[in-house]
Copies of this chain bind each other. A is one copy, B any other.
Amino acid sequence: MKSWLDEVTWNAEGLVPAVAQDAASREVLMVAWMNRESLERTVASGEAVYWSRSRRKLWRKGEESGHVQRVVELRMDCDSDAILLRVEQEGGIACHTGRERCFFLKLEQDQWVTTDPVLRDPALIYGRK
């Protein structure tokens, strides 16, 4: 029997980009990648699980930081090659820099300007202090 997972168009590496959007603030928090297993686990657990391309392993968001993402809604786009998660972001922090979202570099007059306050020192988040 064909699974909903079979309807996703995985790329050559077996991945799709996944966009996480905060259900409350509606900000786009981050873009990460999912393989079949991570998407399956995301739905089974109700918490975002990504595929870390750099570490080449499943990455349960928040496993180190505590900043888990509870999935409120999961969507796919018209050509089935991108996923959208509406999430409740634990701690209100998605980024490893301690900011709400990873998109804190804003283009202004041909320069990337760092915006958005650091809500919590990453050294505290990752227990190095």
Instruction: Give the interface of A toward B (CB within 8 A).
Output: 3-4, 7, 17, 19, 21, 26, 28, 30-31, 43, 73-80, 82, 84, 95-97, 99, 102-107, 110-112
Q: Known contacts A7-B112, A78-B97, A106-B75; decide if A84 and B28 are in contact (CB<8 Å).
A: yes
Are the C-beta atoms of A74 and B107 separated by less than 8 Å? yes
A95 cross-chain contacts in B, Cβ below 8 A? 78
User: What is the total number of copies of this protein in its complex?
Assistant: 2
CB contact under 8 A between A28 and B28, given known A4-B111, A75-B105 = yes
Chain B min CB distance to A112 (Å): 6
- Taken together as a complex, chains A and B put the C-alpha atoms of A8 and B4 apart, in Å, by 34
